[in-house]
Amino acid sequence: MMKLRTKYILFVTILHLLTLGLTFFIFNEKRVYFIASEIFIIISLVIAIRLYGQLIRPIKMLLQGIEALKDRDFNVKFLPTGKHEVDQLINVYNQMIDQLRTERTQQEEQHFFLEKLIYTSPTGIIIMDHDELVQQINPKALQILGMDEKELIGNNIKELQHPLFEHAKVLKVGETITVKLSGITTYKLQKSHFIDRGFQRDFIMIEELTTEILAAEKNTYGKVIRMMAHEVNNTVGPVNSIIQSTLKSDELWHNQTDNQLNNALQVAFDRNQNLNHFMRNFADLVKLPEANKKQIDLNQLLDSIVQLMQVKAQDNNINLVYQSPLQPFYITADVQQMEQALINIVKNAIESIGNNGVIEFKVDTKKRQLMILDNGKGISTEQNLQLFTPFYSTKKDGQGIGLTLVREIMLNHGYEFSLKTIAQKQTAFTISF
């Protein structure tokens, strides 16, 4: 722009100086023509100056607008000059500025909305850069992973240590997998991508499915159990009534020399009673009421559990270790349901040990946590994936009700819980209140 202005000024100056010089040749002979020439030169100079103002200054003004665009300042606009051609250019510039400002506002609003959506999303979201380094992670993902943001940002996802990352490493863009951890928590991992400044960037979504799966699972086995209980009760009740009437009849056994038929009927009656008891156990699982929560002292509850299970433990030469603190540890729970859950946990620990072992109760008041440790045979990886699954049992004649009932009671109270082998010959059932 400076070169063009210089050329214009230089051209006008040379032209007028040359014209002025030529007029001196007619100064002596024709002074009238000389005066007319001088007037013409003055008028020409004035026109040149005005043209400079009309052409060069608007261009300088537009250059200021270009500088504003370089600085991403979309608020600079120009007023019309009254010159048709320049005003058309100014009008186009002003329209462009308005459009750019509108688009930037929309882009910022969309970006803010997206950031807010990611931050408040109930789904965990991990966003990576071009090199698969974690660039952004929302609070839900941090909660699911149980890790601090500083441990994740800037690290390669393939180098991070977490069970979910072990599955995420092999996940391809567009794929979805379901992962089950600790026998109860289930997550859906999905990998996708978006384009950022022409480059593909990946992100992983982590959605917890535990609540939905447990609800669907309970609804399914609840219907099956209710149907089974209905059919069994309709059959066992009348049959037992007939058997009892027959067993009480003296006329049937008059002149009989042996009691084989009597014994057979008694066996049938006992088996029916066992079947009835078997179905009641399943029915109790379905009919578990809402927890009647009250403030209770966990230490007192554990004292009663230890006393209750002491005889069974001693029969298997198992030592129950619990030192009740002097200070009470209050929790909000349904005392009957919590008692049943703890009894089931201790029974499972005794059965896991078999004979000669230790079951220890540890209460952490700071973490508000209870750990029941046993030195039984432990839990294998395959068993860990099936824990708390309805009707799954590692025992030969197990019904798979005990841990399922514990699970329902814990969920009824909203407590976090886990069962896993934490070291060789050391398995821990942990409850966080």
pLDDT over 60 (residue 190): yes
pLDDT over 60 (residue 161): yes
Closest Cα partner for 355 from 313, 309, 393?
Answer: 313
In the chain, pLDDT over 90 holds for what percent of residues?
A: 10
Q: What is the pLDDT of residues 88-130, one digit of tens each?
A: 877 888 888 888 888 888 888 888 888 888 888 888 899 888 7
DSSP 8-state class, residue 291: P
**Contact, 183 vs 389, CB < 8 A?**
yes
Mean pLDDT of 213-237: 70
Give the bridge partners for 373, in sequence order. Answer: 360, 428
Lowest mean pLDDT among 97-111, 180-194, 382-396, 418-432: 382-396
pLDDT of 360: 93
Instruction: Give CA–CA dist 402/390, Å, rounded.
Output: 9
Give the bridge partners for 177, in sequence order. Answer: 189
Q: Which 3 state secondary structure label does DSSP give 399?
A: coil
pLDDT over 70 (residue 208): yes
* Residue 54: pLDDT band with limits 50, 70, 90: low
Instruction: Give CA–CA dist 413/195, Å, rounded.
Output: 45
**Contact, 109 vs 117, CB < 8 A?**
no
Q: Which 3 state secondary structure label does DSSP give 29?
A: coil
Q: What is the pLDDT of residues 277-290, one digit of tens each?
A: 666 766 666 667 78
Instruction: Give CA–CA dist 91/136, Å, rounded.
Output: 42
Mean pLDDT of 392-399: 63
Residue identified by tokens 């403030």 is: 295
**Contact, 400 vs 391, CB < 8 A?**
yes
Give the bridge partners for 370, in sequence order. Answer: 363, 431
Q: Which 3 state secondary structure label does DSSP give 333?
A: strand
Q: What is the pLDDT of residues 247-273, one digit of tens each?
A: 666 555 554 544 666 776 777 777 777
Mean pLDDT of 201-210: 85
pLDDT over 80 (residue 309): yes
pLDDT of 1: 47
The span from the first CA to the last CA of the chain, in angstroms, equals: 75
pLDDT of 296: 92
Lowest mean pLDDT among 50-64, 101-115, 170-184: 50-64
Mean pLDDT of 130-139: 86
Measured CA distances, 238 to 6, 234, 241, 243, 272 (Å): 117, 7, 5, 9, 11
pLDDT of 373: 93
When mean pLDDT is compared over 234-238, 326-330, 383-387, the highest value belongs to 326-330
Q: Which helix (H) or strand (E) holds 176?
A: strand 176-181
Question: CA angle, 95 as apex, 83 and 73 as ends, to 5°?
Answer: 105
Mean pLDDT of 206-228: 72
Provide CB contacts within 8 A for 418, sequence distance 6+.
182, 184, 428, 429, 430
The overall pTM is greater than 0.75: no
pLDDT over 50 (residue 228): yes
Q: What's the chain's average pLDDT?
A: 79
